A and B are shown apart, each in its own frame.
Chain A
């Protein structure tokens, strides 16, 4: 997954990546050339007593050092450029993909999870790319370059290099391969420990009320012990790495000296080459070690990459039509024709065989108990979900065949949770229609019974609204959400339990004010309060996802038992929502 993600999204960064590779090559070769120059100092300077040569070669070494840092800086520049650009692209890809999701995918992932994937997870992968560009790539270059330099230095001795580098890589690789899954397990166990703690803190009253402290302590002790066990094993493996590296490094040095001495004694090699060899070894092995430490990041980034790929591989289940149909009329007639909706894999359908027509100029109310499928029903109109059976028609056309922009432009939705965006009251209202004038905003507010409190706010329409709308009360939020839908002047209004936070008086005034405004429109109201819907032109009673009654209030009272029950429950408890 990680590889695929990198391949797909690094494609456009080929040139800077090549630059990174080239610059790292320059810098690495420069690093490796220093010991060669040092060898020259020994062989041609010290052994021959030529101090002038020592100083002039020193000058060369300085120049090479400068070249080395220039290469490094360049590599960091291109590396940071690539990694940050990659991060931006990936973030945008995830964001845009989520934009195509329907409510079904949103529910499946959950908004918080998607947020983490789009922010934190992308950041992890981006960090890996950055470190790869700046450090990880230099390790193989250093290895290959070191071996090449060693070969140039003395072919007879270079077999040592060819042995010790793989020995190091393999032995560390073996340790890391066992360590990585353990570290992943450690992370999972940390999550478990933290989850238990979070539950204990948020549920402290429940824990205490049910006297579950001993069980909770035991539950935590288990999680804690599980974590400690794995962390201990992982830590032991980690403790192995450094001694292994040092041992391989030092035994190799001994080998260089022993076999080197033989070749020098036989006159096949110069003494300077010996020191150069030792220096190469050190550099190569250090680079390998650094790379392996960095490599620990890979599994973590891989997990993040999987989570990102999961989002990118998910197709929105609601797809725009390939050949949109333009309806011949635009009166807003809404028809549910044998509509069924079932979550994939669920036993009982949420909606089964629902049929009714919401006519223009009429108010259709939907009532039913929790879980009866009211919200799902309403969500089928703007295609937050698509029906799994039957058809929802707007203006005579299956909503799935309508151009989405066109469909949405005809709908004014007030969702159950009246979410507001960061900004001002005005910017939230204009969400419905960016072109709306202040007068139009005020008019909508008047209808939604929100003008009074907006006027009382310090900056009126320009009053700041916090994210989610937490700075205003639930009732105010609901009224602003209603005004937002009104500003669109749609043909179909969908109110999903939008009056629940209003007191009865406001509720009544709002509905009275809505009447003239929505006179020609189709209005669908989901409600729990009978008083809110008693005067609707048509009431649809849902029970367990099926229609058990359709008619006016008076008719249903006599004909529909389920409706009668609902009414009865409210007459005795009408104060409920006050």
Chain B
């Protein structure tokens, strides 16, 4: 019995680990961030509503968002004007260069005409297109004012850009803070049934991985997407204004780069799949070899294990090389296309300057523009994946936030009127309950536990023993009937009031990452140090704690192997000991505490039970024999209740159970 439950717990843990591993490898496997095309698409099923809702969470910050937008537009506009102004400066210089070669005193028109008469129509065109003053050199005052303007423009652009980034960062951080806050608050309002219905790791990954992912996606996209999109638009406008022909050439590279990227991504996909598969296989082997480490050693299998490892490691090398090489080609390819563009602009632009239809400064500006054009474009393209996965994560968080909550506590909670010294009467009146509507578990259950009584609940696995005590705690809401504590319907009490009257020792030995002392004190934060130590001594925690290097300050964490399962269980008992409740609920799954410790524990628990109503999910014959009331459960119903001797005499369900489980042990 205890073995089965233990195994269940282990199974669940394994599942959790599995889920976590799945997440990890999925996130891990990828390639470089820009090779997003190769990653498994995590897609939102309702992209638009979820994205809208995510955006809606920014509403509190809308003033800030508008300011950010305004700043963004301004700073991008200034940044886009910059190259054009620099082009003007180049023109001034170029005009000076040409002008110096011409004889002084001529008007530009005369100079051009003379050049054309010399058969040099190119120079003529250049003269007409630049403000050439024949004979004069570079006009430094004109150049100076243009350049001053450029400095001013860029200075403003940078300041505004910083302002935008600064504000945006705050907005994103606060938004994520609120999302985390809401998710955590939600966890506290969800009924336990929500957690029962899914793997722990799955819920966990919604509140951790998914929110982290939303956070990074928001940060990346909000700052870059906006500026990138605006820049693309601004640059495009400038390019068309300067030279529609060159703009067309620049635009031609867009489909080219899209096609090329897609072709590469398609090829690398196959390798990525293989890489993930081999990574999974190798990680599995590592996990297994490390978990079964002592067996590998003692059975002398290290050489074989290392041999298999080597093989798998080599396989991974080959597949990951393929994936990384092919996806690594994306960047150089983009650069190649950028360079092609550069060459085209240089040649065509050069020809057009020579033919007099464009100024040198314009070509110069154009080269800068075309560089600025491809970069944000690729950024936007890679951003698409980030947005996708961010919205998908947001959707999963929203699903959690939308899950139905447990019923709120009554506005005016009832409080039992019985004096504290005489409390602890529990009654079930025609209680019905089911986890799923189609499978009723408890039907019409009634029982009474008088103050100070010990109630032992026995029965086969799945009979509903744990459910019964969970209902007392209102971990689940009953379907019909009522449960009273000291005459008050527990449904009319606040959950906090109800639960603080109850001390509970659960089957799973949950401890949080903190010191042993803090974990015991968890039962009652107001307890003094002496009280905590006393609880520890009473439950035999003290003994093993003394042998730990850090004593009560030993930190229990997930990887802790300094504290055994049995010792953890002792700590949970000490924790309940400290609460000093009116009602005690014990799940007697003490299988990992050996029999001698168990005996001492039983004594302590017996002392704890004195004058307290206790519900014990009992596995020990002694507990059952000494109980004031034994409830025999089968299929969610109490089939028998009474004392040990009465029930044995009745030769009913209890008798059969006793015979099967304990009789053999007596011999």
Residues A257 and B147 in contact, CB atoms below 8 Å apart: yes
Residues A68 and B661 in contact, CB atoms below 8 Å apart: no
Residues of B near A204 (CB, < 8 A) are 187, 192, 195
Determine how close the nearest CB of chain B comes to the CB of A201; give it in whole angstroms. Answer: 5
- Segment at the B interface, from A113-121, A302-310, A444-452, A453-461: A113-121
Residues B90 and A275 in contact, CB atoms below 8 Å apart: yes
- List residues 124-170 of chain B with CB under 8 A from any CB of chain A: 126, 137-138, 140, 143-144, 147, 150-151, 154-155, 157-159, 161-162, 164-166, 168-170
Residues B14 and A205 in contact, CB atoms below 8 Å apart: no
Known: A65-B339, A69-B333, A211-B496. A235 touches B177 (CB 8 A): no
Determine how close the nearest CB of chain B comes to the CB of A64; give it in whole angstroms. Answer: 8
- List residues 236-260 of chain A with CB under 8 A from any CB of chain B: 236, 238-240, 242-244, 246-247, 250-251, 253-254, 257-258, 260
Residues of B near A107 (CB, < 8 A) are 561-562
Residues of B near A101 (CB, < 8 A) are 293
Alpha-carbon distance A470/B571, docked complex (angstroms): 27
Minimum CB distance partner of B666 in chain A: A574
- List residues 560-578 of chain A with CB under 8 A from any CB of chain B: 562, 565-566, 568-570, 572-578
Interface size on A, residues (CB 8 A): 172
Cβ-based interface call for B207 (8 A): yes
Known: A34-B339, A72-B335, A114-B290. A370 touches B593 (CB 8 A): yes
Known: A41-B346, A80-B325. A228 touches B177 (CB 8 A): yes
Alpha-carbon distance A253/B90, docked complex (angstroms): 11
Residues B7 and A474 in contact, CB atoms below 8 Å apart: yes
Determine how close the nearest CB of chain B comes to the CB of A317; give it in whole angstroms. Answer: 13
Residues of B near A68 (CB, < 8 A) are 335-336, 339
Residues B93 and A271 in contact, CB atoms below 8 Å apart: yes
Cβ-based interface call for A224 (8 A): yes
Summarize A's interface: helix, strand, loop or mixed.
Answer: helix
Known: A242-B165, A504-B665, A569-B595. A69 touches B335 (CB 8 A): yes
Cβ-based interface call for A389 (8 A): no
Alpha-carbon distance A117/B129, docked complex (angstroms): 66
- List residues 212-234 of chain A with CB under 8 A from any CB of chain B: 212-213, 215-217, 220-221, 224-225, 227-228, 231-232
Q: Which of A62, A221, A345, A575 contacts B343 (CB 8 A)?
A: A62
- List residues 1-50 of chain B with CB under 8 A from any CB of chain A: 1-4, 6-7, 10-11, 14, 24, 28, 32
Residues of A near B544 (CB, < 8 A) are 370-371
Alpha-carbon distance A379/B223, docked complex (angstroms): 58
Alpha-carbon distance A227/B1, docked complex (angstroms): 44
Q: Which of A87, A473, A572 contacts B622 (CB 8 A)?
A: A572
Residues B314 and A265 in contact, CB atoms below 8 Å apart: no
Chain B 645-667 per-residue mask, 1 if CB under 8 angstroms from chain A, else 0: 00000000000000001101110
Chain A 340-358 per-residue mask, 1 if CB under 8 angstroms from chain B, else 0: 0001011110100000000
Residues A54 and B506 in contact, CB atoms below 8 Å apart: no
Residues B309 and A95 in contact, CB atoms below 8 Å apart: yes
Cβ-based interface call for B269 (8 A): no
Determine how close the nearest CB of chain A comes to the CB of B554; give it in whole angstroms. Answer: 10
Chain A 262-289 per-residue mask, 1 if CB under 8 angstroms from chain B, else 0: 1011000001001100110010000000
Residues B204 and A197 in contact, CB atoms below 8 Å apart: yes
Determine how close the nearest CB of chain B comes to the CB of A479; give it in whole angstroms. Answer: 13
- List residues 244-270 of chain B with CB under 8 A from any CB of chain A: none
Residues of B near A275 (CB, < 8 A) are 90, 360, 364, 367
Alpha-carbon distance A93/B637, docked complex (angstroms): 59
Determine how close the nearest CB of chain A comes to the CB of B98; give it in whole angstroms. Answer: 8
Alpha-carbon distance A254/B351, docked complex (angstroms): 26
Cβ-based interface call for B219 (8 A): yes
Residues B346 and A88 in contact, CB atoms below 8 Å apart: no
Alpha-carbon distance A98/B508, docked complex (angstroms): 31
Determine how close the nearest CB of chain A comes to the CB of B275; give it in whole angstroms. Answer: 10
Cβ-based interface call for A400 (8 A): no
Residues B93 and A371 in contact, CB atoms below 8 Å apart: no
Alpha-carbon distance A272/B154, docked complex (angstroms): 24
Interface size on B, residues (CB 8 A): 181
Cβ-based interface call for A123 (8 A): yes
Residues of A near B506 (CB, < 8 A) are 205-206, 209
Residues of A near B525 (CB, < 8 A) are 215
Chain A 492-529 per-residue mask, 1 if CB under 8 angstroms from chain B, else 0: 00000000010011000000000000000000000011
Residues of B near A113 (CB, < 8 A) are 559
Alpha-carbon distance A33/B139, docked complex (angstroms): 30
Cβ-based interface call for B482 (8 A): no
Q: Which of A110, A343, A470 contacts B14 (CB 8 A)?
A: A470
Known: A111-B291, A224-B177, A239-B169. A258 touches B147 (CB 8 A): yes
Residues of B near A415 (CB, < 8 A) are 294-295
Chain B 582-613 per-residue mask, 1 if CB under 8 angstroms from chain A, else 0: 00000000011111111100100000000000
Residues B94 and A271 in contact, CB atoms below 8 Å apart: yes
Alpha-carbon distance A214/B145, docked complex (angstroms): 65
Cβ-based interface call for A409 (8 A): yes
Q: Which of A42, A65, A211, A576 has the most CB of B within 10 A?
A: A576
Residues B620 and A573 in contact, CB atoms below 8 Å apart: yes
Alpha-carbon distance A128/B302, docked complex (angstroms): 31
Residues of A near B69 (CB, < 8 A) are none
Residues A202 and B200 in contact, CB atoms below 8 Å apart: yes
Residues B350 and A209 in contact, CB atoms below 8 Å apart: no
Cβ-based interface call for A360 (8 A): no
Residues A103 and B350 in contact, CB atoms below 8 Å apart: no
Cβ-based interface call for B331 (8 A): yes
Minimum CB distance partner of A111 in chain B: B290
Q: Which of B123, B203, B297 contacts A384 (CB 8 A)?
A: B297
Minimum CB distance partner of A469 in chain B: B292
Residues A211 and B336 in contact, CB atoms below 8 Å apart: no
Chain B 537-559 per-residue mask, 1 if CB under 8 angstroms from chain A, else 0: 00000011011110100000011
Determine how close the nearest CB of chain B comes to the CB of A415; give it in whole angstroms. Answer: 6
Residues B173 and A232 in contact, CB atoms below 8 Å apart: yes
Q: Which of B289, B511, B547 contacts A347 (CB 8 A)?
A: B547
Alpha-carbon distance A396/B32, docked complex (angstroms): 59
Q: Which of A120, A405, A570 contacts B595 (CB 8 A)?
A: A570
Residues A528 and B329 in contact, CB atoms below 8 Å apart: no
Q: Which of A68, A92, A569 has the most CB of B within 10 A?
A: A569
Determine how close the nearest CB of chain A comes to the CB of B467; give it in whole angstroms. Answer: 13
Residues of A near B200 (CB, < 8 A) are 201-202
Known: A92-B309, A208-B495, A213-B188. A239 touches B340 (CB 8 A): no
Alpha-carbon distance A370/B367, docked complex (angstroms): 77
Cβ-based interface call for B422 (8 A): no
Determine how close the nearest CB of chain B comes to the CB of A277; give it in whole angstroms. Answer: 11
Residues A200 and B154 in contact, CB atoms below 8 Å apart: no
Minimum CB distance partner of B30 in chain A: A127
Residues of B near A432 (CB, < 8 A) are 299
Q: Which of A217, A370, A411, A431 contacts B564 (CB 8 A)?
A: A370
Minimum CB distance partner of B82 in chain A: A250
Query: What are the nearest 8 A-B pairs in CB distance?
Result: A239-B165, A49-B122, A569-B599, A72-B332, A110-B559, A58-B347, A235-B169, A574-B665
Q: What would be 28 A-B contacts, judged by CB atoms less than 8 Å apart? A: A41-B350, A49-B121, A49-B126, A57-B347, A58-B343, A61-B342, A91-B313, A92-B310, A110-B559, A110-B560, A115-B283, A130-B324, A193-B208, A200-B188, A239-B223, A246-B157, A254-B147, A258-B143, A264-B96, A265-B137, A370-B564, A408-B298, A408-B300, A431-B301, A474-B3, A566-B595, A573-B595, A573-B620
Beyond A99-B297, A239-B166, A422-B284, 8 additional contacts (C-beta under 8 Å) are: A205-B475, A210-B523, A228-B174, A243-B159, A247-B158, A371-B547, A467-B284, A575-B621
